[in-house]
Amino acid sequence: MAFRKEPPYTHGTAEQTAVVLVNLGTPDAPTAPAVRRYLKQFLSDPRVVEIPRALWAPILHGIILPFRSARSAAKYASIWGADGSPLKVHTEKQAMLLRGYLGERGHQVQVAHAMRYGAPSLPQVLQQLQEQGCSRILVLPAYPQYAGSTTASVYDAVFAHYAAQRNVPELRLVRHYHDHEAYIEALKHSVLAHWDAHGRPDKLVMSFHGVPRRTLELGDPYHCECHKTARLVATQLGLTDEQYLVTFQSRFGKAEWLQPYTAPTLRRLAQQGIRRVDVMCPGFVADCLETLEEIDMEVRQDFLDAGGREFHYIPCLNENPAWIHALTDIAEEHLLGWPTMSNAAARDAQARELAISREQARRLGAVQ
């Protein structure tokens, strides 16, 4: 195996720790050429499209890329902001805030963001961190629910990068946080804030990104983790089974995907006399094409055209302080045991933990 050229090892160099927040990715611009480059990388990933390459390549290069790129570019243009892609903007801000929150808790770590597809690429960011002397790296995918096509694909990219490295850093990879208490709490606060401002709906719909049903039958836990997230959020909101629904969006191709599908479900609700629906997308931690265009534009129109009266989209967590707090909790739990704190911060943390333990013991004694 040919190894890439690496920075020379210097004995005695202080070791550093980094956290890499990894999201799916986005085209560089809302243009057909940029979208074509992005889709080519995305849809060439065997984790994303589990069809033999010999069968898939002609379809991808002969049909999908030539004809879908321009249509997708128009959709991207409809959500593109002055600062660029919403997903890119939100992910950059989340990484910046995460670094600040971790710093406030005494952690001396670098925090970077990367994209699985597009820029900044995950291998590029990992290489930069190595050049900066990071010998401990925590990879934190922006996917609360584990799926082979998302989380495992990030793992693939990390391992492929280091397969050609001689001096491999210590690695930790977050698998999921679909049922993490702070993540669920952030979702709850997001919904309640929307309801405080706009009132409550007849039905809350939690729409997750779809995957082929075949993945569930082959053992992928994604479907179950989506339902657990929804169940926990509904419980926190005090909803009955009749007051919320779980659906799956973004179906691609003719194969059966996880059901029920979001758009047909919303049309059916309108036809059944449901006047107002609120839709949220708990599987996305940053607003993007699938939430802003597909849900807040296309599905909204589907519901209204079918007779619905009010459609409310509840934005993704984005830079919601409750979410950044949750993201910090998740990162901190996975940093446990790594020397990321200054001596003074470590002593303060130990003192806080001791005080909490004493208070818990005192309360337990009072109850008994």
Structure tokens at 4: 């890439």
297 with 263: CB under 8 angstroms?
no
Q: What whole-number distance in Å separates Cα of residue 222 and Cα of residue 208? A: 10
Residue of 92, 115, 110, 93 lying closest to 37 (CA atoms): 115
Residue of 145, 148, 152 lying closest to 177 (CA atoms): 145
Strands (E), 186-306: 203-209, 244-249, 276-280
Residue of 327, 54, 295 lying closest to 185 (CA atoms): 327
Burial class of residue 189, CB neighbours in 10 A (0-12, 13-18, 19+): middle
Residue of 283, 34, 48, 16 lying closest to 154 (CA atoms): 48
41 with 118: CB under 8 angstroms?
yes
28 with 88: CB under 8 angstroms?
no
Q: Please check if 217 is assigned to a binding site.
A: no
Q: Please check if 293 is assigned to a binding site.
A: no
Q: For residue 272, give every residue at least 6 positions away whose Cβ sits within 8 Å of its Cβ, in sequence order, or none.
A: none
Q: Which single residue is written with the structure tokens 């179906």?
A: 251
Q: What whole-number distance in Å separates Cα of residue 20 and Cα of residue 112? A: 5
φ, ψ dihedrals at 238, nearest 5°: 75, 30
Q: What whole-number distance in Å separates Cα of residue 70 and Cα of residue 33? A: 8
329 with 182: CB under 8 angstroms?
yes
Q: What whole-number distance in Å separates Cα of residue 101 and Cα of residue 95? A: 10
300 with 74: CB under 8 angstroms?
no
Burial class of residue 120, CB neighbours in 10 A (0-12, 13-18, 19+): middle
Return binding residues: 209, 290
Positions at the binding site for Fe(2+): 209, 290
